[in-house]
Structure 1
Amino acid sequence: MLRLKHYLIIFGLFFLDQLSKFFASTHLSFYDAFVIIPSAFSFQLVHNYGAAYGIFQNQRLFLTLVGLVVVVGSIIFQKMIIQSKLSKYGLVFLLGGALGNLVDRIRLGYVVDFIDIRIFPVFNFADIFIDIAIGLFVLELVYGFKNKKDA
């Protein structure tokens, strides 16, 4: 089960995501990128009306419902999801990221993206947190499978 410290981390991740999106929305442009490393890394404001990699464009209701199911389902079924510290922190990062993008979608009708590393579509901190969660869940599957196989 998640404890108070885990919920505080979730809130911290959510807050970092929302603060960075507020900063991006107030200081970045749709047209002019703030270049850090030419042709490799920049910040540029994008309103994402779809999901990762541009799928499900203009499917606000569907994507909002998916986000709600992920958040509510993760909380309800956390006993089944959490098998170790890896999966516990996977759930923490998943909730922090999913909440960040869900709040954008409900409040704005789109997700604010602004990190551009050229080899991927533009993304945000919530997306990074979700990717970390997926990585932790994959490690849990591999590590857990290895331990069960050795037993």
Structure 2
Amino acid sequence: MARSTRAAGPSMWPWLAWATLLLIADQFTKTLILGYYRLGDATYVTSFFNIVRAHNPGAAFSFLADAGGWQRWLFTGIGVVATVFIVWQLRAHPGQKLFCFALSSILGGAVGNVVDRLMHGYVVDFLDFHWAGWHFPAFNLADSAITVGAVCLILDELLRVRQSR
């Protein structure tokens, strides 16, 4: 019998576990919001933060939210393609810690929002930050994971460029 000649080394499984943990936390918080809040309900938490229930059929900042429904499938497709690409990258570079942390954070968030689109036709948002009458668009844990991942991806590239000099 032939054995795999792949050398033992870093594995992508810890990164997939991190993405799964983010996905579970995201879906758990959204389930709580759907269970305890009606659309438009809000709870005051601090002078700059509320918990709300909002539905976003579009993308970031409600991009294409009023497009008529086709955007649900476009953003779901983009999420699926991103998932395949990210898993491929995690498999190819499991030892690059910051890079993989960034990608797996984006993966967990992207899958969380794809699950929402498939189950509800919209993404459930509930974190509402505001100041002096100005409200940042409501978002969720998946969006936060994607944002942290994107920032870490940029940081990883800056460090890589600096290191190559």
Asked if Structure 1 and Structure 2 have the same fold, meaning a TM-score greater than 0.5 normalized by the shorter chain, the answer is yes
User: Are positions 1:123 and 2:123 aligned together?
Assistant: no
User: Are positions 1:48 and 2:56 aligned together?
Assistant: yes
- Classify 1:32/1:107 alpha carbon distance in 2 versus 1 (closer, same or farther; 3 Å): closer
Q: Which has the larger radius of gyration?
A: 2
The residue that corresponds to 2:12 in the other structure is 3
Displaced runs of 4 or more, over 3 A: 77-83
- Post-superposition offset of 1:98: 0.6
Matched residue SS, 2:55: strand
What TM-score results when the alignment is normalised by the length of structure 1? 0.90
From 76, 80, 83, the equivalent of 1:68 is 80
Question: Which whole-Å deviations, capped at 9, do the CAs of 1:67-117 have from their partners, x for residues lacking one?
Answer: 111111111233566672110101110111111001111111110000000
Residue pair 1:47, 1:111 contacting (<8 A) in 2 also: yes
- Post-superposition offset of 1:8: 1.8
More helix per residue: 1 or 2? Answer: 1
The residue that corresponds to 1:78 in the other structure is 90
The residue that corresponds to 2:149 in the other structure is 133
| Structure 2 CA distance for aligned equivalents of residues 135 and 148 of structure 1 | 20
> Residue type of the partner of 2:12?
R
Q: CA RMSD in A?
A: 1.8
Identity %: 30
| Structure 2 CA distance for aligned equivalents of residues 53 and 122 of structure 1 | 8
- Classify 1:24/1:9 alpha carbon distance in 2 versus 1 (closer, same or farther; 3 Å): same
> Residue type of the partner of 2:126?
F
- Post-superposition offset of 1:56: 2.0
The residue that corresponds to 2:38 in the other structure is 29
> Residue type of the partner of 1:52?
A
User: Are positions 1:147 and 2:163 aligned together?
Assistant: yes
> Residue type of the partner of 1:54?
S
Residue pair 1:28, 1:34 contacting (<8 A) in 2 also: no
Matched residue SS, 1:77: helix
What TM-score results when the alignment is normalised by the length of structure 2? 0.82
| Structure 2 CA distance for aligned equivalents of residues 61 and 98 of structure 1 | 14
Gapped regions of structure 1 (runs ≥ 5):
none
> Residue type of the partner of 1:76?
W
User: Are positions 1:108 and 2:120 aligned together?
Assistant: yes
